[in-house]
Structure formats: structure tokens, C-alpha cells
């Protein structure tokens, strides 16, 4: 999770120890949180999934993913034994980075104020999006003001199988992720 200024607030991992998941996911999840925070506004939330199509060659945001590189000295500082714990060296730091596939969502409180973002990595980008969506809901930080999906929120919009990248859409990952039931965003 990151605050509105991009400072990492918390890092977590699954499993009994750090090596029980992809080590690269730690930085990817921070990039996703940073991206959702950096490209969402008080009145418009963009998930990282919404950025997939416009960042493809010929898209209106092509190259965005290269615009804010990760500060690798910050990202890989400290002991790996602390990664994913309360002592993670990322906590309190800003490492930047832009990631343009599913798993990053902005966080909005009950007043509709953007208070940061959440990033998830460790499965397909579609599953990461769904997990982030389900994690944001019990935090009650899903008062999304508006978005580019048909429901006017920041949910993932899937490309049809034969469709080329366009709009704010994301490709299917495994073929059934659109069948996952997600809670609706809260209304103010």
C-alpha cells in the first residue's frame, strides 16, 4: 500500500517465509500501487488494468510504463529477511515505478478522498486485480468516484478474444477471470 504521495505504508507477503512467493512480486506490487495512486484523481479512478490498452504501441499513452522508473537502490535495500514484514525497508520510502497490467487500485475513503493505493502481485494480472478488488472492499476504501468501466468504476474491462487493444481494456488471462463475483464499489 502507498499513501497519496507515493510513500509505501505497508508491505505483506503470503506463506511462512519470504521465498514462498515470487520475489519479484514485492516490487511489482509496489509499482502497481504507485501507478494506481499516481494516475487516479479526486474524481476519476484508473486501475492499472485500465492502463493496459492505451500503453500498447499506437495507444494514446504508449511509453507511460517507462516514464517513472523504479529506484532500485531503495527497492532492493535492506535484508531480504525483512521483506514483507513490518520491518520491510520499503515502508516509509518512495520507489516509484509504473505498471500497466491488473493488480493496482486507488483507495478512496467515505468522503471520496483518494488516500493512496493498493497493489497486488503473485498470480496472473487478472487474478491480482480481483484479489486487490476483494482486499479493498473490507477496508471500506472503495468509495470510487468514477471510472472508465461500463459501471463507471475502476474495474477491469476485458478485451473480447478477437479484439485488439483499445480503450481502457485488458486481455483475459486464463479465460474465466470474468466469472469471478466482485463486490460493488460503495457509493457516497
Domain ranges of the chain: 18-179
Report the C-alpha gap between 13 and 22 in whole angstroms.
10
Q: Which residue has the higher pLDDT, 162 or 49?
A: 49
Q: What is the pLDDT of residue 102?
A: 97
Q: What is the pLDDT of residue 140?
A: 97
Q: What is the pLDDT of residue 16?
A: 80
- Does position 119 have pLDDT exceeding 80, yes or no? yes
The residue count for the chain: 188
- Does position 114 have pLDDT exceeding 80, yes or no? yes
- Does position 13 have pLDDT exceeding 90, yes or no? no
Average pLDDT over the chain, rounded to an integer:
94
- Does position 62 have pLDDT exceeding 80, yes or no? yes
CATH for the stretch 18-179? 3.30.450.150
Q: What is the pLDDT of residue 44?
A: 97
Q: Identify whether the C-beta of residue 34 lies closer than 8 Å to the C-beta of residue 96.
A: yes
Report the C-alpha gap between 77 and 59 in whole angstroms.
35
Q: What is the pLDDT of residue 85?
A: 86
Cβ contacts of 14 within 8 Å, gap of 6 or more = 20, 21, 122
Report the C-alpha gap between 40 and 107 in whole angstroms.
9
Report the C-alpha gap between 101 and 65 in whole angstroms.
10
Name the nearest CA neighbour of 109 among 158, 42, 52: 42
- Does position 1 have pLDDT exceeding 80, yes or no? yes
Q: What is the pLDDT of residue 20?
A: 80
Q: Which residue has the higher pLDDT, 187 or 132?
A: 132
Poorest-pLDDT segment among 28-32, 79-83, 120-124:
79-83
In sequence order, what DSSP letters do the residues of 61-128 get, joined into one string? TTTGGGSS---HHHHT-S-GGGTTSTT-TTTT--------SSSEEEEE-TTS-EEEEEE--SS-HHHH
Amino acid at each position: 500500500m502507498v499513501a497519496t504521495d507515493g510513500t509505501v505504508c505497508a508491505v505483506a507477503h503470503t506463506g511462512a517465509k519470504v521465498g514462498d512467493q515470487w520475489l519479484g512480486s514485492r516490487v511489482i506490487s509496489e509499482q502497481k500501487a504507485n501507478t494506481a495512486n499516481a494516475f487516479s484523481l479526486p474524481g476519476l479512478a484508473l486501475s492499472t488494468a485500465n492502463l493496459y490498452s492505451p500503453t500498447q504501441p499506437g495507444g494514446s499513452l504508449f511509453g507511460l510504463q517507462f516514464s517513472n522508473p523504479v529506484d532500485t537502490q531503495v527497492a532492493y535495500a535492506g535484508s531480504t529477511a525483512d521483506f514483507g514484514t513490518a520491518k520491510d525497508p520499503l515502508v516509509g520510502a518512495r520507489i516509484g515505478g509504473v505498471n500497466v497490467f491488473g493488480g493496482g487500485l486507488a483507495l478512496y475513503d467515505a468522503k471520496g478522498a483518494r488516500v493512496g493505493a493498493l497493489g497486488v502481485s503473485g498470480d496472473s494480472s487478472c487474478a491480482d486485480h480481483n484479489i486487490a478488488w476483494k482486499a479493498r472492499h473490507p477496508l471500506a476504501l472503495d468509495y470510487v468516484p468514477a471510472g472508465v468501466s461500463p459501471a463507471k468504476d475502476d474495474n477491469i474491462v476485458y478485451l473480447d478474444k478477437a479484439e485488439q487493444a483499445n480503450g481502457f481494456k485488458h486481455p483475459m488471462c486464463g479465460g474465466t477471470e470474468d466469472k469471478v463475483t466482485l463486490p460493488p464499489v460503495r457509493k457516497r
